[in-house]
Amino acid sequence: LKAGYLSRIAAASDEAALEELRLAALGKKGEISLKMRELGKMSPEERKSAGPALNALKDEIDAALRAKKAALADAALDERLKAEWLDVTLPGRPRPAGTIHPVSQVTAELTAIFADMGFQVAEGPQIETDWYNFDALNIPPEHPARQEHDTFFMARAEGDNRPPHVLRTHTSPVQIRAMAQQGAPIRVIAPGRVYRMDMDQTHAPMFHQVEGLAIDRNLSMANLKWVLEEFFSAFFGVKVATRFRASHFPFTEPSAEVDIQCSWIDGQLRIGEGDGWMEVLGSGMVHPKVLTAAGVDPDEWQGFAFGMGIDRIAMLKYGIPDLRAFFDSDLRWLRHYGFSA
Ligand code: PHE
């Protein structure tokens, strides 16, 4: 009996087989348990010799079962350690890293430069009411400037009486929102996306502008010129002169288009050198009607505003030839012109 159990225990290959053997020997109806029950029917003499022998057998088999169970667990652990072995000294696998888009890069650069001059960032929605995008900026419904803006209009359901919505055609509506919220004095820039129905090498239906607005008691065109020259010089890293040309915008009076100094040297466009000029933005003194529409008293406050294409100055600074490529999401282009984080 004993030899039979011990050899079967030694041969058991898993815990389930061991458990089966345990039940067969020591379970309620196990062979050894039944024998122990028979002790009661024996004479005291017989019991004296059979009792200790049975107890010893039971202990021995129990011990053999436990030892085998521990051995199986050890073997399983060895197996796992071998299978899951990991060399922590191996070098890491390289992961492809993305790049920062030139528009994001330039937005961060110009935000930092204007922040140094006390301008905070203001924001507004890309889907605007035509009041903010036009009326409040002194562009009434019949004004020809509305046609010039090539506006995307939001479709409206029959019977929808809410004010008409457009995709903002410029960042100037943020002037109104910022002044209405913060009042005067105020100094903000508003970078963001704008939309116009236009598409060629220098125009995309979505592009980026940054609006600038400064309102105080005594601001003039001279302050505007200083701020812009300070900005362009910091942005391009060389002293850049600006040239103001008289222009017209409904929301500024007087208005000026601003050129920066540049020239072609050895087939390369050099900003801040030579006697050439390139137009980069529109600007002027904020029209009294615009101040009034935003709840600012034009008898007490005055200031300047400007609007500039972010993609445009990114192309100039980093020598990017085609505006449309900005928005193609071509990974090769992004790796070439993108910035590492
Ligand atoms: N909003 C004008 C444009 O998109 C630019 C501008 C802004 C002009 C502020 C004057 C003042 O062309």
- Closest atom of ligand 1 to CA, residue 283: 10
Quote the pLDDT of residue 106: 98
What's the CA-to-centroid distance between 257 and ligand 1, angstroms?
9
Listed in sequence order, the residues at least 6 apart from 151 whose beta carbon sits closer than 8 Å to its beta carbon are: 133, 166, 167, 169, 196, 197
Q: Whose CA is nearest to atom 12 of ligand 1?
A: 282
Question: Using a 6 Å CB cutoff, which residues line ligand 1?
Answer: 170, 172, 249, 252, 282-284, 305-307
Q: How high is the pLDDT of residue 200?
A: 78
**What is the distance in A from the centroid of ligand 1 to the CA of 271?**
22
Alpha-carbon distance of 119 to 9, in angstroms, equals: 84
Cα of 306 vs centre of ligand 1, distance in Å, is: 6
Does the annotation list 253 as a binding residue?
yes
Question: Which parts of the chain sit beneath pLDDT 50?
Answer: none
Residue 212 Cα: closest atom of ligand 1: 9
Residue whose CB lies within 8 A of the most ligand 1 atoms, among 143, 170, 194, for a mutation test: 170
What pLDDT score was predicted for residue 203?
82
Q: Whose CA is nearest to atom 4 of ligand 1?
A: 170
pLDDT at residue 142, rounded to an integer:
86
Question: Using one digit for the tens of pLDDT, what is the confidence trace for 247-280?
Answer: 999 999 999 999 999 999 998 889 999 999 999 9
In the chain, beta strands by DSSP E: 120-121, 127-129, 165-167, 186-195, 206-216, 242-249, 252-265, 268-271, 276-286, 302-309
Each residue of 32-63: pLDDT tens digit? 888 888 888 888 888 888 888 888 889 999 99
Which pLDDT score is estimated for 48?
A: 87
Whole-number Å distance between alpha carbons of 73 and 164 = 75
Distance 172 CA to ligand 1 centre (A): 6
pLDDT at position 156 = 84
